[in-house]
Amino acid sequence: MAKLNAETVKALALELFDYEFSDEAAGSVAHIVGAMANYSRRLHGIGLAGVQPPFGYPTLCAEAARLRRIV
Amino acid sequence: MSNHAEILNFDVAALAEKIRAKDLSPVEITEAYLERIDAHQGRLLAYITVTADDARDAARKAEAEIMAGNWRGPFHGIPIALKDLCNTRGVLTTGGSKILGDFVPNFDCTVWARLREAGAILLGKLNLHEFASGATNTNPHWGTCRNPHDLERIPGGSSGGSAAAIVAKMAAATIGTDTGGSIRIPAAFCGCVGMKQTWGRVSRFGVMPLADSLDHAGPITRTVRDAALMLEVIAGHDPHDSTSSNDPVPDYAQALTGDMKGVRVGFIKELITGLSDEVAHSFNGALRQMRILGADVDEVAVPHIETASIIATSIMLAEAAEYHEQWMRTRAHDYGADVRRMLEAGMMTPAIYYVRAQRSRAAILAETLKALDHFTVLAAPTAAIPAPRIDVGGRALSDNGHQIDMVASVLRFTAPFNVTGQPALAIPTGLAPNGLPLSMQIIGKPFDEATVFRVADAYERARGPLAEPKL
């Protein structure tokens, strides 16, 4: 289990986003993100070696072309 | 001239025939729907905004065009409604939120632009879970939408208003959106058809995002045929959405042969556990029905499909938090408690988890495609349970009063096909002994919506009509 606690969440949110968590929210989010860390590590088990993320270059080019039309 | 009750009994396909033949006028159809909305909106809260005057104007215009011999197609003169996540020029578009509580866009989303061009008439904008960020449609800002089959139960979400309006006959067809199941879950809980087509098949331009890489806008309808007709109108490349596909859009209605011979249906082994008795019974009955129709039905494994819920959640949290960051800095108190908590979790989601989740999508799609090497379509329940109860705190409760685990009960079944982007259609399989609708999904190969429609339509014909809610 990731060792993320409410105080760490509050400090990070303030530093990164200038956002103030309540004590209760920070505790709950620490729990959620901790659980997510565990699940995320388990995804290695489905065989991700060499798998590319689905952010293709054609999409990048198409989006740039769209922006050029409207900018 | 027909009476209003008779008009409301027709699906889009039947209305279109009557409009084309000039047996029914868009004006009288629109009046029938507006009267129905007046009668039931107070209890169901399916709508956030009803555009009655504009609908009457549009109906008169459609009638004049049709009488002059200019029938545009099956949606000409058909009264529809849109989830209030769809931007509509000059019409309040709230996203179900307080933050956009007085937002009136100056542009149309492409989905509405195409339906309007096809002659559809806008009845209004439909209730939803705030910013499409939940599966109950319990909305603290615009009121809790209710399930027409039981007003004490959720309609499902996030497109709850879209499904409730179909089943309560408050619109002939509607548009919902689906990021983790938000078209299919309400379609299942309310008892209608919900089609989440292939990602990229329909433009998302002008539809407020929850998570761009998982979002879809698609039809919620009474019948499979209506969903096919509606998808044909809204599908196809859109220069405003660079992720929309250039693939040609087939004539979906032509695929509806009513024939299931030669079809191989693979029900997903990992998704038939943890079902309530009524869902298990109804799903098995649907598989039996498909065998009777001539389909070859067998079990198929998709070994890591259960990881899809966490993949979808990791992506959704991160992408949603990015979209909402500015409002979270300045207006966090204007979000409902559940949506604010979701976005707070998203703010704290490390980029590593997000990228890993994105990379995992190909592995899951590879598994479902491997399963489809041997089967024409896949099948799975849409939810493990029928519609749960609403409690006063706005949570969903089981019949024994325990809070529902929405991941285990619902997202586990629907989110995999947002992760893979495949077409997945929810279709009712019958009613539970307590009268609540039950549903299964038919899942196809990417961009093969035609086969999904073919199989679902053949099953729907054999299943016959469902009992209507007593409103």
* ipTM (interface pTM): 0.94
> What was the pLDDT predicted at B408?
84
The catalytic residue among B25, B97, B158, B314 is B158
User: What are the extents of the domains in chain B?
Assistant: 4-302+364-463
> What was the pLDDT predicted at B338?
95
Interface of B with A (CB under 8 A): 213, 239-243, 304, 307, 310-311, 313-314, 317, 325, 328-329, 332, 340-341, 344-345, 347-350, 352-353, 355-364
Active site residue B159: no
Q: pLDDT digits over A8-33, tens only?
A: 999 999 999 999 999 999 999 999 99
Mean pLDDT of A43-57: 92
> What was the pLDDT predicted at B65?
98
> What was the pLDDT predicted at B402?
86
The catalytic residue among B83, B98, B125, B445 is B83
Task: Kindly indicate the confidence band of residue A71, based on its pLDDT and cuts at 50, 70 and 90.
Answer: confident
Q: Which residue of A has its CA nearest to B205?
A: A66
What stretches in chain B show pLDDT beneath 70? 1-2, 392-394
Q: Closest partner residue to B359 among A12, A51, A65, by Cβ? A: A51
Active site residue B370: no
Provide, as residue numbers in chain B, all residues whose Cβ is less than 8 Å from the Cβ of A48: 356, 359-360, 363
Q: Which residue of A has its CA nearest to B245?
A: A59
> What was the pLDDT predicted at B401?
82
Residue B220 backbone phi and psi in degrees, to 5:
-125, 125
% of chain A exceeding 90 in pLDDT: 80
Q: pLDDT digits over B281-312, tens only?
A: 999 999 999 999 999 999 999 999 999 999 99
Do B427 and B283 contact (CB within 8 A), yes or no?
no
- Residue B166: partners with Cβ closer than 8 Å, 6 or more residues away: B173, B174, B190, B192, B220, B221, B222
With CA atoms as reference, report the closest residue to B264 among B126, B113, B375: B375
Do B273 and B305 contact (CB within 8 A), yes or no?
no
Strands B424-431 and B437-443 come out as antiparallel
% of chain A exceeding 70 in pLDDT: 97
Instruction: Give the residue carrying structure tokens 């409002």.
Output: B327
Describe the crossing of helices B308-331 and A23-42 by its angle, rounded to 10 degrees. 150
Active site residue B244: no
Q: pLDDT digits over B225-272, tens only?
A: 999 999 999 999 999 999 999 999 999 999 999 999 999 999 999 999
- CATH number of the B4-302+364-463 domain: 3.90.1300.10
Tokens of B373: 């090497």
